[in-house]
Structure 1
């Protein structure tokens, strides 16, 4: 949780030097390239098999781009603390969606953990969000949407099966997800002002590495 919160703070700082969509596209491309570089070392074939491409495309374009895009945009509307809490509620959402979509059994302990977790999120987030105007609550909602996207990605990976390399299902979707984000950035951020300083490059590389904890 601490490492993830650090990533949110770093992302917030990087957003002061680059527009959100362009920043996220660069982050995902760099993170995916870093993972692909590990393939030869770990003896993983670089090109996925044909039957994996539909899943990779869904993970990359429909899920990963959405999750990381909403994550970055949310920080333009709310603080890194609230975004971090809501953006890291995946374990709670995973339990709920697993029961709903995958038919997983909800034991008493899992139900208790789910309820306690939800109470914790509300206690942390409500004092801040309750003071916002209705329009100002878009940031927390986007952060929560990001968490839903990441959980959806986890459920898809789980559905594909244990025989497939998790690294394969992480690296290629990251690279592909940068494409729609770059295109959206060209359309919505036609004149992106990026400060290519040593600090920004360091932040960008760190954000690329941060993705590893979610793979």
Structure 2
């Protein structure tokens, strides 16, 4: 599959993630952030694990547990804390530094070169997101700011380490392991902080099913597939599609305003994503292509293994 197809498939993930706010607003019960995160991660991880029927080897468990915490448990927990303590625009703008963090972390962890164009694309994306979602009366809360920045750093580090640590398995298996680990980390937090489970309606169950099957299992499969195939600068800039999608869906489904500043922000975000996709020679060390073998297992050299 060529690079353009890889970009399009990977871009579907952050585009779908932008629907999380609308689904949460319309379908999920309020005041149960950790429970909803658990129900999003753990069932998806178990379902994918039933499909692949392959557990990590003992040597891989520490890495899988760390990646599950960074990409899901810590990231989602900090995301919810920021959402509760900050206006949505402030939280989204602070979270938009994640692509810049990916570029900066990729240098020491992957040996990639930091290019001026990639930095420019990241900064343009941050400014575009700010125009999309910030309001003049946005309030600042120190704990909320710390949570938003911690969440952005957590996901950025998880993305880079997911590329550095490519196990000899398919992207589907790697996604299953990480979702399962993320759900297991969230389980004690839910039992401790949200011990009384909410009463779920049919609409709640529909929202949870969407977030688990589409917003977690499918999208993270596409994302981690892209992590293994795309250079960090190109991958990270796709993250700006999430707030862009969220604003458009809020306008279409929730009747939210879309003014001239938001339209300008959309244009800047689109330009930043395009700039991030300009392939730059030497921007990252080559990663091995992974191909599915006859037995359904793969190794990092692309050779099949039994």
**Shorter-chain TM-score category?**
0.7 to 0.9
Helix, strand or coil: the match of 2:85? coil
Structure showing the higher helix proportion among its residues? 1
- With 99-108 and 170-179 compared, the bigger mean Cα shift is at 99-108
How many pairs does the alignment contain?
206
Q: 1:34 to 1:140 in 2, by over 3 A?
A: farther
Q: 2:29 aligns with which of 1, 9, 16?
A: 16
Structure 1 residue 66 corresponds to structure 2 residue 74? yes
Q: 1:83 to 1:175 in 2, by over 3 A?
A: same
Q: 2:125 aligns with which of 117, 126, 130?
A: 117
Name the residue aligned to 2:205: 201
Name the residue aligned to 1:134: 140
In the alignment, structure 2 segments of 5+ residues that lack a partner are 1-13, 222-306
CA–CA distance in structure 2, aligned partners of residues 18 and 197 of structure 1: 15
Q: 1:151 aligns with which of 152, 156, 165?
A: 156
Deviations, residues 39-73 of structure 1 (Å, cap 9, x unaligned): 2xxxxx52222222121111123552101222233
1:36·1:171 contact (CA, 8 Å) conserved in 2? yes
CA–CA distance in structure 1, aligned partners of residues 192 and 122 of structure 2: 41
The TM-score, its normalising length taken from structure 1, stands at 0.78
2:71·2:154 contact (CA, 8 Å) conserved in 1? yes
In the alignment, structure 1 segments of 5+ residues that lack a partner are 40-44
Q: 2:51 aligns with which of 38, 46, 54?
A: 38
Q: 1:164 to 1:154 in 2, by over 3 A?
A: farther
Structure 1 residue 169 corresponds to structure 2 residue 182? no
Q: 1:81 to 1:199 in 2, by over 3 A?
A: farther
| Deviation of 1:123 (Å) | 3.6
CA–CA distance in structure 2, aligned partners of residues 30 and 197 of structure 1: 18
| Deviation of 1:106 (Å) | 1.6
Deviations, residues 144-200 of structure 1 (Å, cap 9, x unaligned): 4323222211111111137443322321221222233221222222334x1310000
CA–CA distance in structure 2, aligned partners of residues 92 and 20 of structure 1: 27
What value does the CA root-mean-square deviation take over the aligned residues?
2.8
| Deviation of 1:113 (Å) | 1.6
| Deviation of 1:4 (Å) | 2.0
Deviations, residues 63-106 of structure 1 (Å, cap 9, x unaligned): 52101222233332345565455546543331122135433112
Higher Cα Rg, which structure: 2
Helix, strand or coil: the match of 2:81? helix
Q: 2:192 aligns with which of 182, 187, 192?
A: 187
The TM-score, its normalising length taken from structure 2, stands at 0.58
CA–CA distance in structure 1, aligned partners of residues 104 and 132 of structure 2: 20
CA–CA distance in structure 2, aligned partners of residues 199 and 26 of structure 1: 14
